[in-house]
Amino acid sequence: MAGALAVTGLTLAPTAAAVTPQSATINASCGIFGGGTATLTATQSGGSATMTLTSSAITAPVPVAQDSIASTLTLVRAGGGSVVFSGTRNPAMNTGAPVSVGPLPGTVASGDSLEAYGGSLKMVIFGVTVTCKATAPQAPGPFVFD
């Protein structure tokens, strides 16, 4: 019986899917709200993926409560189209604190190659829309999903 339960447990365990690279660096411009280096971190579980953006160069313009920023991250798909990651996940931030949003959920297909350059990050903070765009391709390269 214990052996059957162990096998059942293995059967129900999610398969590990990998995205490479797991993180990439971009240089982002957010207009009057600043800009600079930001890090995108990706995770994948099957057809679901999340993206998190953090930056000490881009700072919160006002104090922000936890999970109060409506964020939409659009990444460009190699070969055409785009993939959107969106949600309201963020830590609490004081004025001038480094910006961090995510993990933002999205749907990916096996083989998707996604790049921030050509896409955007839109954050709505207390009704004010902040749009950030990558000024060059991400390094070390696009996210490729299993």
Q: pLDDT for 102-126, tens place per residue?
A: 999 999 999 999 999 999 999 998 8
Q: Which residues contact 120 (CB under 8 A, 6 or more apart)?
A: 72, 73, 74, 131, 132, 133
- Looking at residue 6, its pLDDT comes to 41
| Residue 137 or 34, more confident | 137
Q: Where are the domains of the chain?
A: 15-145
pTM: 0.85
Q: What share of the chain is helix, strand, coil (3-state, %, to 5)?
A: 10, 55, 35
What does pLDDT average to over the chain? 89
| Confidence grade of residue 17 (pLDDT, cut at 50, 70, 90) | low
Q: pLDDT for 75-105, tens place per residue?
A: 999 999 999 999 999 999 999 899 999 999 9
